[in-house]
């Protein structure tokens, strides 16, 4: 592991952060998976926590998703969804997260007979409690791209009675072979409903998927987008339009998008003028929450204080908040920087 000046590491830990790319089902720790399996009488294909954790040796996105969906099968009740989100929010707060935009995958649950109301109700109760403690947070509903357009439409319809509980929609799951354009009409309907738009693109899929996310879905941010650098015209556009990319360094290493953190394209993306942010994706599976992603990425890539501050600012610039909320969040960032004597 690369070394880092302890004072810089402490500065990064204290830095107020926005986390804009975290899947709530990806925050289920192995111990929690087993506790919920016992609580709910769900059988798991792993005998114990150690065996499950040992299976977290992924070769690509799909090898992870297979285990991630198996892990999520223990979630049945409103309390399960509440407890999962409450644990994440407490953990994120400890890492200095003051704004969290949290993905959830309702189809993973509704396909098992869990009601949309149970999923959204439990998550919302946890978010309300965090808001009461001063954490700014919202939910983004993600469609599973390996499922059909029809299923996505049915999911959007089932969620609309809870329209006030989420601010936007996204697109996740198996990327290659499921281009954004498959969901053009669903996202058009979501835009008509006033929802904010994001999409995973350019994680394993080609730059063409990033173009489609922007031009066909109307994505306002790109989740991952690390392969954008392969296309100079795309890179220039993303930079010119200040489209934020929610980059997840630990995820990219664990899913073999890049070999080592030292090889991660984040610094090259910054140098190309891209608005990158640092996020944890599925922290229970990828070896660390957002604070560890920040510390280790800054160390591995030799990022400067100014670069770290720029990445933090990018997160608040890209957050889906109104301008008064953005001003309040940025003021907290500025106050923390000033307090550190920079
Ligand atoms: N679902 C959870 N994590 C994901 C990722 N990194 N890419 C696509 N879908 C996901
Ligand atoms: Zn993701």
- Which CATH number goes with the domain that contains 66? 3.20.20.140
Give the per-residue pLDDT at 259: 97
**Total number of domains in the chain:** 1
Residue 278 lies in a domain: yes
Instruction: Assess contact for 338 and 14: CB atoms under 8 A.
Output: no
Candidate from 24, 64, 251, 256 with most ligand 1 atoms within 8 A of CB, to mutate: 64
Share of the chain above pLDDT 90, in %: 98
Whose alpha carbon is nearest atom 6 of ligand 1?
A: 281
pLDDT(179) > 90: yes
246 lines ligand 1 (CB under 6 A): no
Q: Give the angle 120-125-130 at the CA atoms, nearest 5°.
A: 125
Residue 1 lies in a domain: no
Question: Rounded mean pLDDT of the chain?
Answer: 97
Distance CA 171, CA 140 (A): 10
- Active-site residues: which are they? 203
pTM: 0.98
Reported as a pLDDT band with limits 50, 70 and 90, residue 86 is very high
154-170 pLDDT, tens digit per residue, is: 999 999 999 999 999 99
Give the per-residue pLDDT at 296: 98
Instruction: Assess contact for 201 and 174: CB atoms under 8 A.
Output: no
Give the per-residue pLDDT at 1: 60
Give the per-residue pLDDT at 340: 86
Give the per-residue pLDDT at 25: 98
61 lines ligand 1 (CB under 6 A): yes
48-62 pLDDT, tens digit per residue, is: 999 999 999 999 999
Taking the centre of ligand 2 as the mean of its atom positions, its distance from the CA of residue 290, in whole angstroms, is 13
203 lines ligand 1 (CB under 6 A): yes
Residue 111 lies in a domain: yes
Give Cβ neighbours of residue 167 (< 8 Å, ≥ 6 apart). Answer: 101, 138, 139, 140, 195, 196, 320
Taking the centre of ligand 2 as the mean of its atom positions, its distance from the CA of residue 335, in whole angstroms, is 30
Give the per-residue pLDDT at 251: 98
Tokens linked to 17? 């952060």
Q: What is the mean pLDDT of residues 244-251?
A: 98
Q: What is the mean pLDDT of residues 220-247?
A: 98
Give the per-residue pLDDT at 4: 87
> What is the DSSP annotation of 140-174?
EEEEETTS-HHHHHHHHHHHGGGGGG--EEEEES-
Whose alpha carbon is nearest atom 1 of ligand 1?
A: 173
Residue 140 lies in a domain: yes
Distance CA 339, CA 319 (A): 24
User: Which atom of ligand 1 lies closest to the CA of 251?
Assistant: 6
Distance CA 118, CA 109 (A): 9
3 state DSSP class of 284: helix
Instruction: Assess contact for 244 and 221: CB atoms under 8 A.
Output: yes
Q: What is the mean pLDDT of residues 242-257?
A: 98
118-144 pLDDT, tens digit per residue, is: 999 999 999 999 999 999 999 999 999
Q: List the one residue out of 132, 48, 42, 41 whose CA is nearest residue 86.
A: 132
Residue 310 lies in a domain: yes
Q: Kindly tell me the number of DSSP H helices and DSSP E strands found in the chain.
A: 17, 8
Range of the domain at 19: 6-339
User: Which atom of ligand 1 lies closest to the CA of 248?
Assistant: 6
Residue 135 lies in a domain: yes
Give the per-residue pLDDT at 2: 76
pLDDT(314) > 60: yes
204 lines ligand 1 (CB under 6 A): no
Give the per-residue pLDDT at 165: 98
Instruction: Assess contact for 65 and 173: CB atoms under 8 A.
Output: yes
Query: Between helices 149-159 and 184-192, what is the axis angle to 10°?
Result: 20
pLDDT(342) > 80: no
Residue matched to tokens 């409690």? 129
User: Which atom of ligand 1 lies closest to the CA of 105?
Assistant: 1
Distance CA 260, CA 327 (A): 36
Q: How many CB atoms lie within 10 A of CB 211?
A: 20
Q: What is the mean pLDDT of residues 297-319?
A: 98
Q: List the one residue out of 211, 203, 227, 190 whose CA is nearest residue 286.
A: 203
pLDDT(172) > 80: yes
pLDDT(341) > 70: no
Give residues whose Cβ lies within 5 Å of ion ligand 2. 281
Residue matched to tokens 């980059």? 247
Q: What is the mean pLDDT of residues 266-279?
A: 98
3 state DSSP class of 16: coil
Taking the centre of ligand 2 as the mean of its atom positions, its distance from the CA of residue 44, in whole angstroms, is 24
């Amino acid at each position: 592991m690369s070394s880092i000046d302890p004072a810089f590491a402490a500065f990064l830990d204290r830095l107020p952060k926005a986390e804009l790319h975290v899947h709530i089902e990806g925050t289920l720790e192995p111990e929690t998976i087993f506790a919920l399996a016992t609580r709910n009488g769900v059988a798991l294909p792993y005998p114990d926590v150690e065996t499950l954790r040992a299976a977290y040796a992924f070769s690509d996105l799909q090898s992870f998703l297979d285990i991630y969906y198996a892990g999520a099968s223990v979630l049945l009740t409103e309390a399960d969804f509440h407890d999962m989100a409450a644990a994440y929010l407490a953990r994120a707060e400890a890492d200095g997260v003051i704004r969290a935009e949290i993905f959830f995958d309702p189809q993973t649950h509704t396909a098992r007979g869990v009601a949309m109301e149970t999923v959204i109700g439990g998550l919302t109760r946890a978010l309300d409690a965090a808001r009461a403690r001063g954490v700014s947070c919202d939910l983004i509903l993600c469609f599973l791209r390996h499922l059909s357009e029809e299923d996505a439409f049915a999911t959007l319809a089932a969620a609309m009675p809870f329209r006030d509980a989420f601010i936007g929609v996204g697109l996740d799951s198996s990327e290659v072979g499921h281009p954004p354009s498959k969901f053009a009409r669903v996202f058009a309907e979501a835009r008509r409903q006033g929802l904010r738009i994001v999409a995973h693109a350019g994680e394993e899929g080609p730059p063409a998927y990033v173009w489609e996310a922007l031009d066909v879905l109307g994505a306002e941010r790109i989740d991952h987008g690390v392969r954008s650098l392969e296309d100079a015209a795309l890179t220039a556009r993303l930079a010119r339009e200040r489209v934020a990319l929610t980059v997840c360094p630990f995820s990219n290493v664990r899913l073999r998008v890049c070999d080592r953190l030292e090889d991660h394209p984040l610094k090259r993306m910054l140098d190309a003028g891209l608005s990158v942010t640092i996020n944890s994706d599925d922290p229970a599976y990828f070896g660390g929450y957002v604070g560890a992603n920040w510390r280790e990425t800054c160390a591995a890539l030799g990022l400067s204080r100014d670069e770290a501050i720029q990445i933090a600012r990018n997160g608040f610039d890209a957050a889906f908040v109104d301008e008064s909320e953005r001003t309040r969040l940025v003021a907290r960032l500025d106050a923390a920087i000033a307090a550190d004597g920079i």
